[in-house]
Amino acid sequence: MRIKLLLASLLAFLGIVLAAGARAEINVGVTLSATGPAASLGIPEKNTFALLPTTIAGQKINYIILDDASDTTTAVKNTRKLLAENKVDVVIGSTTTPNSLAMIDVVAEGETPMISMAASARIIDPMDGKRAWVFKTPQNDAQMATALVQHMLDNQVRTVAYIGFADAYGEGWWNEFSRIAEARKIQIVGNERFNRADTSVTGQVLKILAAKPDAVLVGGAGTPAALPQKSLKDKGYRGLMYQTHGVANADFLRVCGKDCEGTFLPAGPVLVAAQLPNGNPIKKVALEYVTKYEALHGKGTASTFGAHAWDASLLLAHAVPEALKKAQPGTPEFRKALRQALEKTTNLTAAHGVFNMSPQDHLGFDQRARVMVRIDNGTWKLVE
């Protein structure tokens, strides 16, 4: 009796193993920041995975989504787990730059391609043996800063003051922006810092006002970036205001209200998808994403952050058929082929821009990947 049972279960087990081998599903491991300080970026990304196609080129796709709580150690742990236990063919994540940087070593060791949804250029630059496995979908900060500086030059801005977060985000923007602005002969007359949880920035704002700049750039993300702008308006500042693409969500408009009217920011085209000219190839892809997302979560809920996850899946949909020609999913050969196929992505139109990758450039966006946006009547308005 006992032997019979043992035999039966052995057979069943064998059957499962064989069936799994025959189907050869593609496993996509995802780690993102659905909780913690980066939650307002991670939640729309997580929501986006629910909209993604479940098959590519006839192969079933399994998304294994883990939360890293905006924590670097957890992101690395998640990545190790995805590689070792789930035997994933590709890793998507994580939401923030520190997490993504820490994951590079793990995926390179496991020879698995990774598509990051974080912004810093350092994730794919300098291109070396390890970063050969790493790709990313958001625009580099430098690319956004260049657009900002160009807009300032076009509007006769001669002097500018900067006020940013007292953390890696504010520091990163300060480095990129000050470098580009000085190269283009815009004088920087102020460099101030504030904390996300600060209740008052009067001191910093008074110092900026004393320097009388033509424009002020706020280097903050989400609703906290509204505080300096409100204080500046309260104290009578009437010059040009700029924000970064970190504020591109609906909550920022809600909290900042009328004080943010007329503010300029660089953003991915998906933010103003409906306003793009009809000839723009990005419009169709971006609108498709926005429509699908808002059908599920309500009008005005789509953000630029979720679109980075959407773009990652477009990259996969483009590369997987190529890789399938060379190897079966679940094998090292398939992962290698997938990496090569991703690197050869050309003229792929996504929600944030057009990908043209090369062995040196694992992002491959050009100036079509950014637009200038103005806040107008509490909505985002494309600047021609």
Partner 1 sequence: MDLQIALLLGQDGVTNGAIYALLALALVLVFAVTRVIFIPQGEFVAFGALTLASLQAGKLPGTAWLLLAMGMAIGLIEGAAAVRARRFHRLPLILLINCGAPLLLAASLLAVSPAGLPLLVQVLLTLMLVVPLGPMLYRLAYQPVAEASVLALLIVSVAVHVTLTGIGLLFFGAEGSRTPAFTDASFAVGDVVLQGQTLLVIVASALLIVALYLFFERTLYGKALRATAMNRTGARLMGISGDLAGLLSFTLAGAIGAFSGVLISPITTVYYDSGFLIGLKGFVGAIIGGLASYPAAAAGAVLVGLLEAYSSFWASAFKEVIVFTLIIPVLLWRSLKTRHVEEA
By the rule CB under 8 A, 73 interacts with partner 1: no
Q: How far apart are CA 21 and CA 11, in angstroms?
A: 15
By the rule CB under 8 A, 224 interacts with partner 1: yes
Closest separation in Å from C-beta 124 to partner 1? 28
Among 14, 168, 206, 296, binds partner 1 (CB under 8 A): 206
Torsion of CA 39, 41, 42, 43, to 10 degrees: 80
Among 40, 47, 74, 140, binds partner 1 (CB under 8 A): 40
Q: How far apart are CA 268 and CA 139, in angstroms?
A: 8
By the rule CB under 8 A, 241 interacts with partner 1: no
Among 71, 192, 311, 343, binds partner 1 (CB under 8 A): 192
The nearer residue to partner 1, 125 or 171, going by C-beta atoms, is 171
By the rule CB under 8 A, 220 interacts with partner 1: no
By the rule CB under 8 A, 199 interacts with partner 1: yes
Closest C-alpha among 143, 136, 208, 215 to residue 176: 143
Interface with partner 1 in residues 153-182 (CB under 8 A): 163, 166
By the rule CB under 8 A, 201 interacts with partner 1: yes
CB 99 within 8 A of CB 91: no
Among 158, 235, 284, 344, binds partner 1 (CB under 8 A): 235
Helix extents (H) in 94-201: 97-109, 141-154, 168-183
CB 213 within 8 A of CB 152: no
Closest separation in Å from C-beta 234 to partner 1? 8
Pairing of strands 371-376, 159-165: unpaired
Among 85, 105, 251, 366, binds partner 1 (CB under 8 A): 251
By the rule CB under 8 A, 223 interacts with partner 1: yes
Which H or E run contains 17?
helix 2-23
The nearer residue to partner 1, 165 or 242, going by C-beta atoms, is 165
Q: How far apart are CA 216 and CA 230, in angstroms?
A: 12
The site for partner 1 (CB under 8 A) is made up of 39-40, 163, 166, 192-204, 206-207, 210, 222-224, 226-227, 234-235, 249, 251-252, 255
